[in-house]
Amino acid sequence: MKVMVQATPLDPWTEIGRYQDEALDRAGKYGATAVFVGTMRDFNAGTGVQGMTLEHYPGMTEKYLEAISAEARERWDILDTLIIHRCGALQPNDPIALLAVWSSHRAAAFEACRFLIEALKSRAPFWKKEAREEGEHWVTDNTPG
């Protein structure tokens, strides 16, 4: 299990390959890898968005992400998880979040991955401030799944 919150750019596909090569000592054990990559849109709720700042509570955010990863491992027969989330300044098309789940079978991988993203979106301590044409705006509601 790996959890990271970072201000540096995120290349999700490189991170998945790196994690599988360097940290996931389970070659031949997994038959499924479910991946979710969240990317910044240039609109929200019908309004154009030029940029976004993501803030979080260091230490608390990572502990929460570790807790939902542990919960996923208890609820489903999965082998490992990877969560990397951006913070700081973002532009449209920037990858924001990477969630990956490895399992022997696809059903557990898909279900656990969906659980992780829904738990992250609904309860993780992140705060979004959008830069819009009319000024900055704090986002108070998440978009539906």
The string of pLDDT tens digits covering residues 101-122 is: 999 999 999 999 999 999 999 9
Q: Give residue 21's pLDDT.
A: 86
Q: Give residue 71's pLDDT.
A: 98
Separation CA 19–CA 39 (nearest Å): 20
* Torsion sign across C-alpha atoms 7, 88, 35, 75: positive
Position 29 confidence tier, pLDDT thresholds 50, 70, 90:
confident
The structure's pTM equals 0.93
What integer best gives the mean pLDDT of the chain?
Answer: 94
- Over residues 128-134, the mean pLDDT reads 93
- Domain 2-134: CATH superfamily is Molybdopterin biosynthesis MoaE subunit (3.90.1170.40)
Pairing assessment for the beta strands 88-90 and 78-86 based on DSSP bridges: unpaired
Q: Give residue 65's pLDDT.
A: 98
- Over residues 128-136, the mean pLDDT reads 93
Q: Which residues of 103-135 are buried (b: 16+ CB within 10 A; e: fewer)?
A: beeeebbbbbbbbbbebbeeebebebebbeeee
Decide if pLDDT at 145 tops 90. Answer: no
Q: Give residue 26's pLDDT.
A: 66
